[in-house]
Amino acid sequence: MRANARERRCRPLPSAALRGFTLVELMVTLAVVVVLLRICVPGFVSIQRNSELTSAANGLLASINAARTEAMKRNLRAAVVPADGGSWAGGWIVYVDIDGADGFSAAKDLVVSTQPALASYFSMSGNNTASGRSPYILFNGSGYPVTKDSAPTSLSVAITRNDLAGDPSREQTRRIVLSKTGRVRVCKPASSSDSDCSSASN
């Protein structure tokens, strides 16, 4: 009895139970994985970048609203300006113009918030006061957007994915539109010339 029990315990497993993957099976599996990656990865990248686009547009929207709120709360001018003074894509600063110099001074003005630079596959451009070598978005103490000469103004800033071209690029563009009344909104333009989304359905 004991000998028979030892024989059963020591009996080798069938060869089928020890069988692993063959080289052909492994190659087929790898080929399927490669095909799936080629299909899925671009989609994941696009989803990620679209999410970043939405986040950037909402971030600028929030910054403009913050500048307007601070201007009305303190009855002082408040502004949003590029962090480097010239390029929106390099990030921006929201500040209250404490010294009334119509320009940002880290030593004298009150910084409300800052926005880091966008990823390299985003470009930003604006019109009116939000364009040029030293763009800005400025509010007076009543919460109205103005030029540095106190003239009422409206403007828009576009954020676009520069890794796309043609219709896909337009589809992945968001425009932040600021009216003369101080109302700000985000929209998707119908064309590259649709500066205030008046031709778009949204």
pLDDT in tens, 151-185: 999 999 999 988 887 777 778 899 999 999 999 99
pLDDT in tens, 106-143: 999 999 999 999 999 899 999 999 999 999 999 999 99
Contact 157, 96 (CB under 8 A): no
